[in-house]
Chains A and B, each alone.
Chain A
Amino acid sequence: MFAIFSKLKWKKEGAYTVERKDRTEHRRIEDASVPSELVYPLTMHIGAPASPVVNVGDTVKIGTLIAEKNGAISANTYSSVSGEVIEIGSRPTVHGEAPCIIIKNDFQDQRDAPLYANDEELDPQKKLEIIAKAGIVGMGGATFPTRVKLSPPKDKPIDTIIINGAECEPYATADHRLMVEYAEQLIEGIRVLQEIIPVEKVYIAIESNAHESVAVMNKAIADSEHIEIKELETIYPQGSEKNLIKKITKREVSPGQLPADVQTIVINVATTYAVYEAVRLGKPLTKRITTVSGQPLKEPKNLWVRIGTPIESLIEDCGGFQSMPGKMIHGGPMMGRPLNSGRVPVGKGTTTVTFLAEEEAEIDQRSPCIKCSECLNVCPVSLQPIMISNAYEKGNLKKAEKLGALDCIECGACSYICPSKIPILENIQKAKKAIRSSKEGA
């Protein structure tokens, strides 16, 4: 159905990027090996860093609170192994060197008490508190505290929940495998969300290339009439929050607004699973599924990873390298961050670790813009990316702002598509920074 459109050149509000999911999409999720030392950054979420509540020498178990949230936009952090706190100090993380708690694993895997007592009555408010307590944040990479998302202002009644299974980054298959292997649990997670926010309709958004998850989820929802699967075109960035809301509800989130302002909440599938584990099983967030993939790896895999596991340990689980990697990326190749240390640990938002071969990591030299309009055609928020980039390069921040620089969702589709290899997004990011700092200065 989408094939014909993808063959024509016109404005599509997205790019048909490479997919490269074939090496991991049919592999069952395996348990990653658990290292002897785990690293828990205090900054695994957006907002204020968590504050440590343990001291060096303390013994911890799986599910022991080690750092507490600091205000509303922050999140609790739990140990994912049993053992001993051996250090609290600076370590390399996704966001550069940052304070971390380091725990030595005793390999006993003892569990701490669950999040709530077995006989406790759970009302919606209590369930929300459990979600906050469990340290759950957006696990699709945004890492925004889920509890905040689930408590919209009273005057904005939510009528739609969208479960985001549109995994649009190349290589990423963690959400896909989660839907294929844990469909029942996901449906249960959706029920929890509905108990907290009673809505008419819950949509599960899945990209059309994930046939298997569409089929499995369809079966799983057979007798839940409140839930509907929305099969969406495979186009990048289909899974972006603003884009999903527009595609499914036909509503647009204006600048300065939150999805709740258009009566919608978008929750990632992995987050939904974490909600299920917290509210139904009393387990805090201590593990996640991460896709570890890319051409240089011998055996790319989807792994159940204990949060805090250094990436170098995952590389070993994937059989090491078959060729020299030229780039290591936390996240997918479109929006991920480059890493230069294998000691960086998997955090709550680590959907994917992507490795590119040396030749894939090279980017052709920039040439002049030929005005092909492709950057405009693929921009999901209908900006004119090269115009903003040009305005920035000419030092005209006013124009960059008028052209909507601040509306850019930084998806990178424009830079990806540009045949002249102009670093459009990089310029827009710089423009945004300059505009924001000039505003603060004023």
Chain B
Amino acid sequence: MSEVTALTDAQLTMSNAPHLRQVRTSAWIMQQVILALMLPTIGALYFFGWRVLVMIVVAIGSCVLSEYLFQKLTKRQITIKDYSAVVTGLLLALSLPVSAPIWTIILGSGFAIIFIKQLFGGIGRNWFNPAVGARIMLSVFFGEYVSGWVEPGEAVDATSQATPLGVVANDRADAVSTATYVDAEMPNLVDMFLGTGVGGNIGETSKLLIILALVYLIARQIIDPFIPFLFILPVAVITLVTSGFDLEFMMQHLLSGALIFAATFMITDYSSSPFTPHGKIAFAIGAGILTVLFRYYSDYSGGVGFAILIMNACVPLLDKYLPPRIYGHKKRPI
């Protein structure tokens, strides 16, 4: 026989089916999320300057280091190569104002990774979104340091000033009567959309860039397109109805605060959102409704974060009671 390669020379693997795997890996998926986060990062650099870079480097560095040290000390498998700690660091940095002191970033990162992620069992097991949890922890205990929202171009020690959401929140008492009323301080919708001249957390200002990131993640099949939509929908509907169908009021709500950012990066986080399709739907809609409630009935303007944390806490229940119905069965396997 003139065969170049004979079967008898081959080292045949005998592992079980399926014999092929798709090319995607978990690390690749996390890299795509990081890539998408580059859009708001670029926006942050453009709007707020070089300090953004320092914040991001510190946040990522402390997240990765916390994960490494924790896993080293507890003798667990080191998983920093999966990039999820990088994502957490980036998310946390982007959800802080440019005036946030460096120590708050380090503290937040350590808290996110150790208390929220690792103590719950690491990637895929954590109930709460680490970045959201850390952000809330910082604003509850160190509010004065991390809520001085700053307009682009101003120095780090700038005085805090009204953000669009602050204006919307203050007007909530007479939301309906202000249907046609536009506060002098309220930035116009175009500025809010582009992120030009509005204050806020560094990564959340330009909705345009965030929406581009969202489109990227949907096109890459990394996130389910209905979940961000179902999260934003109740916010749109409730604000529209309660304001007597004032489109501008609705748009102000949609474009202010962390709503779009959270819709893209937080609500869609794998670990802290439900696993089952119906669970996901309930999760997104619930978080949307809670967001409006927080915005309407509390003075705290970062309602999105609380809404997500509360829904995060419901995830195990949602997954337990909303599993898909198995083919050929009448009831869900509860």
A binds B: yes
A residues sitting closer than 8 Å to B (CB atoms) are 7-11, 15, 17-18, 170, 242, 246, 252-255, 257, 296, 312, 315-316, 320-329, 333-340, 342, 354, 356, 358, 360-364, 367-373, 376-377, 380-384, 387, 402-404, 407, 410, 412-413, 415-421, 423, 425-426, 429
Q: Are A361 and B19 touching (Cβ within 8 A)?
A: yes
- C-alpha spacing A370/B9, complex, angstroms: 39
Q: Are B326 and A425 touching (Cβ within 8 A)?
A: no
Q: Are B22 and A416 touching (Cβ within 8 A)?
A: yes
Report the minimal beta-carbon distance from A409 to chain B, rounded to whole angstroms: 9
Q: Are A426 and B328 touching (Cβ within 8 A)?
A: no
B15 touches which of A316, A358, A363 (Cβ 8 Å): A363
Q: Are A254 and B20 touching (Cβ within 8 A)?
A: no
Residues of chain B from 243 to 295 with CB closer than 8 A to chain A in the complex: 270-271, 275-277, 280
Besides A358-B11, A425-B16, 17 other CB < 8 A contacts? A8-B225, A246-B327, A254-B329, A312-B7, A320-B5, A326-B10, A327-B13, A333-B20, A338-B19, A370-B30, A403-B323, A404-B326, A416-B20, A416-B21, A419-B22, A419-B26, A421-B25
Name the residue on B nearest A403 (C-beta).
Answer: B333
- C-alpha spacing A228/B23, complex, angstroms: 37
B142 interfacial contact with A, CB 8 Å: no
Given known contacts A255-B329, A337-B17, A324 and B9 CB-to-CB distance under 8 angstroms: yes
- C-alpha spacing A114/B292, complex, angstroms: 79
B51 interfacial contact with A, CB 8 Å: no
Contacts of A402 in B (CB 8 A): 333
B122 interfacial contact with A, CB 8 Å: yes
Name the residue on A nearest B28 (C-beta).
Answer: A419
- C-alpha spacing A12/B280, complex, angstroms: 15
Contacts of A410 in B (CB 8 A): 17
Give the size category of B's interface with A.
35 or more
Max count, chain A CB within 10 A of own CB: residue among B7, B20, B27, B224 = B20
- C-alpha spacing A354/B271, complex, angstroms: 37
- C-alpha spacing A78/B275, complex, angstroms: 52
B residues sitting closer than 8 Å to A (CB atoms) are 1-22, 24-30, 77, 79, 82, 84, 122-124, 218-219, 221-226, 270-271, 275-277, 280, 323-329, 333
- Listed by A's residue number, 22 A-B pairs whose Cβ atoms lie within 8 Å are A170-B20, A246-B327, A254-B328, A316-B1, A320-B4, A324-B9, A328-B12, A334-B19, A340-B12, A363-B21, A364-B21, A373-B276, A373-B280, A380-B327, A384-B324, A402-B333, A412-B18, A418-B21, A419-B22, A419-B25, A421-B25, A425-B16
Contacts of B19 in A (CB 8 A): 327, 329, 333-334, 336, 338, 354, 356, 361
- C-alpha spacing A203/B77, complex, angstroms: 53
B275 touches which of A326, A367, A371 (Cβ 8 Å): A371
Name the residue on A nearest B273 (C-beta).
Answer: A371
Contacts of B16 in A (CB 8 A): 338, 423, 425-426, 429
Q: Are A340 and B20 touching (Cβ within 8 A)?
A: no
- C-alpha spacing A387/B11, complex, angstroms: 34
Report the minimal beta-carbon distance from B116 to chain A, rounded to whole angstroms: 15
B29 touches which of A17, A372, A376 (Cβ 8 Å): A372
- C-alpha spacing A157/B10, complex, angstroms: 52
Report the minimal beta-carbon distance from A330 to chain B, rounded to whole angstroms: 10
- C-alpha spacing A429/B16, complex, angstroms: 11
- C-alpha spacing A7/B24, complex, angstroms: 15
Contacts of A387 in B (CB 8 A): 275
Contacts of A368 in B (CB 8 A): 26, 77, 79, 82, 122-124
Main secondary structure of the interface of B (DSSP, over half): loop
Q: Are A242 and B3 touching (Cβ within 8 A)?
A: no
- C-alpha spacing A7/B124, complex, angstroms: 24
Contacts of A407 in B (CB 8 A): 326-329
Q: Which 3 A-B pairs have the closest CB atoms?
A: A412-B18, A381-B327, A320-B3
Q: Are B270 and A417 touching (Cβ within 8 A)?
A: no
Contacts of A254 in B (CB 8 A): 328-329
- C-alpha spacing A322/B5, complex, angstroms: 7
A373 touches which of B9, B11, B270 (Cβ 8 Å): B270
Given known contacts A296-B5, A404-B326, A361 and B276 CB-to-CB distance under 8 angstroms: no
Report the minimal beta-carbon distance from B129 to chain A, rounded to whole angstroms: 12
A315 touches which of B7, B324, B326, B328 (Cβ 8 Å): B7
Report the minimal beta-carbon distance from B165 to chain A, rounded to whole angstroms: 30
- C-alpha spacing A402/B329, complex, angstroms: 12
Name the residue on A nearest B225 (C-beta).
Answer: A8
Given known contacts A10-B226, A404-B329, A415 and B276 CB-to-CB distance under 8 angstroms: no
Contacts of A316 in B (CB 8 A): 1, 3
Report the minimal beta-carbon distance from B64 to chain A, rounded to whole angstroms: 16
Given known contacts A242-B327, A381-B326, A326 and B20 CB-to-CB distance under 8 angstroms: no
- C-alpha spacing A423/B5, complex, angstroms: 31
Name the residue on A nearest B7 (C-beta).
Answer: A342
Q: Are A382 and B325 touching (Cβ within 8 A)?
A: yes
Name the residue on A nearest B334 (C-beta).
Answer: A402
Contacts of A383 in B (CB 8 A): 324, 326
- C-alpha spacing A404/B225, complex, angstroms: 28
Report the minimal beta-carbon distance from B272 to chain A, rounded to whole angstroms: 9
Q: Are A323 and B5 touching (Cβ within 8 A)?
A: yes
